Amino acid sequence: MSGTSLDGVDAVLASFPRHGPGHGAPSLIGTHYLPYAAELRERLLALHTPQADELHLAHRLALELAALYAQAVHALLEKTGFAPERVAAIGCHGQTIRHRPEAGYSVQLVNGARLAELTGIASIVDFRSRDIAAGGQGAPLVPAFHAAMLASKNEHRVIVNIGGIANLTDLPASGRVTGFDCGPGNLLMDAWAARHLGKPIDADGAWAASGKVLPELLGRMLAHGFFAAHPPKSAGREQFNRDWLQGMLSGDEAAQDVQATLLELTARGIADAAQKFCRGCEALYVCGGGAHNRALMRRLGALSGRPVHSTAVLGIDPDWMEALAFAWLARQCLEGKPGNLPAVTGASGPRILGAIYPA
């Protein structure tokens, strides 16, 4: 998995039971993280907007990313002592550079054929296109994994994934599972921290905590039409990016106050969505990089009025949730089972997701 945060590659080796309802929860055998070089990150960011020769640049980057993903796979197998032939498949999300479901497409860069060649393992890519072809948003896809692994008959849970974009999965004790993107997660906070601190993140939200929320700025941000829209809905850098943020500013704001306001924007987007669309939820369980932002976790608890925990208390490390989800989606594809939830994405029905490049 490499997500909207553009920080690097999360790789997991997971084993799924062969029997039982839904086959049961995976065993996490090993993990590996491979960071993106700063120049790669900038080239990927540049492709989020039109530019000269972008078709050639995109295909070259897809090959480069395939090599990087393969490097992560080989490092993980070396760590765990597994030979490639023991692995059924690689589920690779690829790197999103455009997400335009309203126009009928979403682009995740990776060359699946090259990945299969470099690893000797069947590689499954392009998980979003089939859902979009069926009228869906193609996102979020992780709620199907949340529903399979984290639902409880005794507690109404909301799983909150805070990556670059934040999304919710509503898991009532009984009834329909829903989920949707609810606004920016870390991407705007990370971009502002990189610009003013020279660091990729605001560790623990400490810098944001040193500032104060600017109500007028927050109001302008929350006026974005995405927040008022009803699910199913999905978002990306098309809606929330550095240029959008710059357009919200007067230029007189203290940098730490902008960071405090961006943290409040993320927290409000999540808490307001949970209040409006996840009625009766008893607790929030957070995964993704945002689970490590203590200031954000505290603010979520205050705004939601609900207990806020890491998904670690449910048995899944928040750092590896999405990578595990794409391992699960790969298994669903191999077994000919749907990987989407139509109530989440808006697709006309369940669909088998992914394109397989055999070893």
* pLDDT tens profile 154-182: 999 999 999 999 999 999 999 999 999 99
- The count of residues in the chain is 359
CATH 3.30.420.40 fits 8-139+320-357, yes or no: yes
Residue 18 pLDDT grade (very low, low, confident, very high; cuts 50, 70, 90): confident
Q: In terms of DSSP bridges, do strands 178-184 and 165-171 run parallel, antiparallel, or are they unpaired? A: antiparallel
The pLDDT of 138-148, averaged and rounded, is: 96
Answer whether residue 286 shows pLDDT above 70. yes
Q: Measure the CA–CA gap between 56 and 5, rounded to whole angstroms.
A: 24
pLDDT-wise least confident of 49-53, 105-109, 337-341: 49-53
* Domain made up of 142-314: CATH architecture: 2-Layer Sandwich (3.30)
Contacts 24+ apart (CB under 8 A), 23-28: 23/331, 25/149, 25/315, 25/316, 26/149, 26/324, 26/327, 26/328, 28/317, 28/320, 28/324
Global pTM value? 0.93
Domain with CATH 3.30.420.40 in the chain: 8-139+320-357, 142-314
Q: Which two tokens mark 244?
A: 């959008």
Q: Which pLDDT tens digit goes with each residue over 318-330?
A: 999 999 999 999 9
Query: How many angstroms separate the CA atoms of 92 and 110, rounded?
Result: 8
pLDDT at 98 (0 to 100)? 93
Instruction: Cis check for the bond before 232: say yes or no (omega within 30 of 0).
Output: yes
Residues 346, 354: contact at Cβ < 8 Å? Answer: no
pLDDT computed for residue 23 by the predictor:
52
Contacts of 262 (CB under 8 A, 6+ apart): 184, 188, 189, 192, 208, 245
- List pLDDT tens digits, range 332-355: 999 999 999 999 999 999 999 999
* pLDDT at residue 226 greater than cutoff 70: yes
Mean pLDDT of the residues in the chain: 96
